[in-house]
Amino acid sequence: MGGVEADGTGSRRTLDAVHGAANTHVRGKGVVRVPNAPIALSTASVYPESTATAFELAARLGYDGVEVMVGTDPLSQDVEALRRLSEYHQMPIVSIHAPTLLITQRVWGTDPWGKLDRGAEAAKALGAKVVVVHPPFRWQRDYARQFVAGVAKRAEETGITFAVENMYPWKAAGQGLQAYLPGWDPRDFDYAAVTLDLSHTATAGVDAYEMAYDLGDRLAHVHLADGNGSIKDEHLVPGRGNQRCADVLELLARRGFTGAIVLEVNTRRAASRSEREADLAEALAFARLHFAAPVVPAYTVASDGTIEAVGQ
């Protein structure tokens, strides 16, 4: 990623060096493999504090980078200000979340394609590889009609990965409502890249592990959070809900996942800055602990006929 990380001696080193050195670890008598993928913090995770606070906390707590949720905070919309924050805190920007939420319908204009185009421009300017996109709302029918093809075209033209996020049915009076077009489940559509959000799988009532498995190589980006299946999109700290967060992380490690794992958790109920920091530190610790997979031994036959196990 070209970012930096403290090494405990006061010096700082590139993330490439850190990840390269830590790619394989011995744990007990077994060996585990940790892929070279950054674990980043979404700026949405510090709300109602500012985008600037997210960079500060990400650097202090030991995250590998930041995902910028473009929202109502003017700083989140300002590419030059974001560049300065990234450089000051030595925190790479791994992804841009386009302003495609209900509350951001007027951020970066009202044209949905314009939002995606500006997202790609920001990503290029800031060195990010991914733009996270929500599927269209059901009332955006013209946009929805061309969405799958339009996203593919923009990815090809810009070289930026447009990772479409899984959503969930809206529920009212016990009934499900199709709020998104062409649909909320990305497995049903021909997207080249997908963002898997584990809070959204909880709200949708689907198995996050199964979705991750089904997506295969199309799974390009992860929003790590948890949920209990409430109709509210909870975004709990991983490990505090019923989603298979640890299983998903191990699956990704087995696959050698190299996309970004972004902690997108809700800390707005934190009573203090220290409580918010504790939640974000816990979320990071969970991700680092579980983003590893045991190396399955292979066997060789020596010249004398003996069988030896070797790590792959």
- For helices 112-126 and 147-158, what crossing angle results, to 10°? 30
Nearest Cα to 260, choosing from 104, 118, 81, 129? 129
C-alpha dist (Å) from residue 69 to 96, 101, 117, 228 = 6, 10, 15, 24
Tokens 């920091």: give the residue. Answer: 277
CA distance linking residue 224 with residue 252, whole number of Å: 12
**DSSP E strands: which ranges in the chain?**
4-6, 12-14, 24-27, 30-33, 39-42, 65-69, 93-97, 130-133, 161-165, 170-172, 175-177, 194-197, 219-224, 260-263, 293-294, 297-301, 307-311
Mean residue pLDDT across the chain: 88
Largest CA distance in the chain: 73
Question: pLDDT for 163-220, tens place per residue?
Answer: 999 999 987 545 667 899 999 999 999 999 999 999 999 999 999 999 999 999 999 9
Structure tokens at 192: 């080249």
- pTM of the predicted structure, to 2 decimals: 0.85
Q: Classify 173 as helix, strand or coil.
A: coil
- Residue 176, C-beta contacts closer than 8 angstroms, at least 6 positions apart: 169, 170
What are the sequence ranges of the domains in the chain?
A: 35-291
CATH topology of domain 35-291: TIM Barrel (3.20.20)
Q: Model confidence at 312, in pLDDT bands (50, 70, 90)?
A: very low
Question: pLDDT for 59-99, tens place per residue?
Answer: 999 999 999 999 999 999 999 999 999 999 999 999 999 99
